[in-house]
Structures are given as structure tokens and as C-alpha cells.
Amino acid sequence: MSIKTETLKNGYEEIAKPALFAFKDPETAHKIAMLGIRTMCSTPMGRAVAEAAIYEMPTEPTTVAGIEFPGRVGLAAGMDKTGKCAKYWQIFGFGHAELGTITVDPRKGNPRQRMWRFPKAEAVVNYMGFNNPGVDAFATTLQKHGIKRGNLAAGIPIGISIGSVATDPEEANKEYQQLLEKLHPHADYFVANFSCPNVSHADDNHTSELIEAMVKKIRELSNKNSTEPTPLFWKISPDLSENELLRTLEITRDKQVAGIIACNTSVELRKQLAPDLPGGLSGRPLFKKSLEVVKFIRQRDERIPIIASGGGMEVDDFKRMFDKGANIAQALTGFIFHGPALIREINELKKIA
């Protein structure tokens, strides 16, 4: 760890983290942090200061599903649900940023309090419920930022997580089609968030049909615009059985899905840590499960792109994810608990897989 990274780590651990963690409701801390990022990084002077203090250029560009990622660790969905910080995540050293999850209509989400922090376990339980500004407002924000597919206006690839709360398969399909239509100009890749435990979904039996319809829609849009199809990943639950994982692999191959994001938050682990709360758990307790899923997928398919997401809290966790077959990875809860120094430390490595 360089002196600069150690200084950044100490500053976060001793100043920023205690100030943010002083808020009992983590959602309040999140809003203040996002406001701080926007306020500081939106001016040339503020951005220059942030880059000088934080930025470390990634050392391992990696191509996945036809997209060149400048670094192997990106920001997971859930941090930036409005897109207002889309152009600032590169400053923190992320190799990509996944925005959302976005729905067709604006959603307030579930009633507060809907997020709980467990410092000793280094875990977060969330029951947010897809709170987001809706696709029209979100697309307008990306348009204002000048973010278009492939133009790297944010400095890094931008993925967009999309979701539906419709329980009727036909209505869910209709919503996904609208989301793809409106966001296609802006996304370097899409993520189908079927596995979020905090909202109702169409029955799992219809997943294959939904995926097939989405892939078909993306092809239609690419043909219309004379572009290559935008890669579509889907994010899976860490609580799947072996048979369910095998079915996931089968659908991924048969429907020509670009790859798998492993994993979403865990209901099973939340029940162990906080049985009286709703929602799913992220953070350190999730790492073992996520690692097992990555290993399971790679042992059965050498070609499917895997984005590891879930439980990475230190550099060694990401090394192990790559060793087990992940192409790239994402951080969110690790970023919350350990700050930008975690991403800098990863990017300082000459070779991490």
C-alpha cells in the first residue's frame, strides 16, 4: 500500500466514516455522501482536488462482452440510482459504474427505515424497494451529462440496472421493453434485476420468456440503429440451489445472455443476522456465498462472462474472486465500510489475478 493510499485510508477511517456512521439511518448518510460528491466534483477546482487526493489509474484493462473496462473493479448498482453522479465515479478509480435499479415509473420505494447497518459484521441490510426517479427523469439526467453508449463521457463504461415490480408476466415484459427502448442510447450494458428480494416480481417460471423477449428487443434496437447489440447481463440470487444455478446457466446459454452478475443480496443470510428485519443482506457475510457461486458457474462453463458482486471487503477478496473465475468485479458495501482507499489499493496492484 502506497503512502498516498494509506493517508487516504486513514482520513476515511478517522474522519469521513465516523461522521457518516454517526447517522443512525444509513440512508441519511448515503444522501449526504452523494450530495458531497456532487458538490465537490461538479466544479473544475473541486474535481481537480478530488482527483489529486483519490484517483489511481487502473492497471488492468479487461474486455468483457465486447466492452473494454479500464479496470477490473466497478461500482455496483444501488449507490447511484439517479445518475447524477455518473461522471464522478471514475475519480474514485472505478473501472465501470452500474446505475439504478431503474423502473418505468418513479418509485418512492418501501417506507423508511429501510436500511440498517451492522458495523461489527461489516454488513448492511436493505429493503429499499426500487426507489428511483423513473426512466424518463433518469434518461434526461444522462442526456444532460452527455452520456451515450460507447462515448465514455463518464470516463468509464456505464451499465444500467433495470427492474419491474409487475407480478403479471405480460405487464413485466411490457415494462422491460419500455426501459430498453428509452435507455438503449445511454447504456454500455444492461442488467436485468430479477433477483432483488425487496420487491414483487413476475413468477420465476417466466424468467426465461422475459430474458428471451429482452434479448430480441435489444437486437431490434441495434438493427434499427446499425449498432452491435448492447450486452445484457442478469443478476442472480446467492440463495439459489444447485439445480436453480444449473437452470440459470442453461437459460444464459440458450437465450444468448451476455453474462451473469453474481450475486444480489441474500435473504437467507439476513435471516441469520437480523431475523426480525425485512430485505436482503450485503457485506462481509455474503462473500463466501458469492465466491461459491462464481466457482460453481466457472467450473461448469469456461466461457460465460462473470461479474462478481457481493461481499468484497478487502483486496484479497477480489483476488479470490478473480482466481475462481470472475472476469471483473464490483464493490459497494466494501466501498461504504472502507472508502476509496479500497479501490485505490486494488488499482495499485500490477497484477491481481
What are the residue ranges spanned by the domains of the chain?
A: 3-348
Tally of helices (H runs) and strands (E runs) in the chain: 13, 13
Output the pLDDT for position 56: 76
Cis peptide before 5 (omega within 30 of 0): no
Output the pLDDT for position 325: 97
What whole-number distance in Å separates Cα of residue 225 and Cα of residue 210? 23
In whole angstroms, what separates CA 272 from the centre of its chain? 24
Class of domain 3-348: alpha beta
Please name which of 140, 137, 35 lies closest in space to residue 88, comparing C-alpha atoms.
35
What whole-number distance in Å separates Cα of residue 188 and Cα of residue 147? 10
What whole-number distance in Å separates Cα of residue 349 and Cα of residue 170? 47
Output the pLDDT for position 274: 98
Burial of residue 54 (CB within 10 Å: 0-12, 13-18, 19+) is buried
- First and final CA of the chain: distance in angstroms? 17
Alpha helices in 17-114 (DSSP H): 17-21, 26-41, 44-54
Output the pLDDT for position 352: 43
Long-range Cβ pairs for the range 7-11 (8 Å, 24+): 8/53, 8/54, 8/339, 8/340, 8/341, 8/344, 9/338, 9/339, 9/341, 9/345
Give the mean pLDDT per block of 10 residues along the chain (353 residues): 88 96 96 96 92 80 96 97 97 96 97 97 97 98 97 97 93 95 97 90 79 94 89 96 95 95 97 98 98 98 97 96 96 97 85 44
Q: What's the pTM value of the predicted model, to 2 decimals?
A: 0.96
What is the number of other CB atoms lying within 10 angstroms of the CB of residue 330? Answer: 29
Output the pLDDT for position 186: 97
Output the pLDDT for position 201: 75
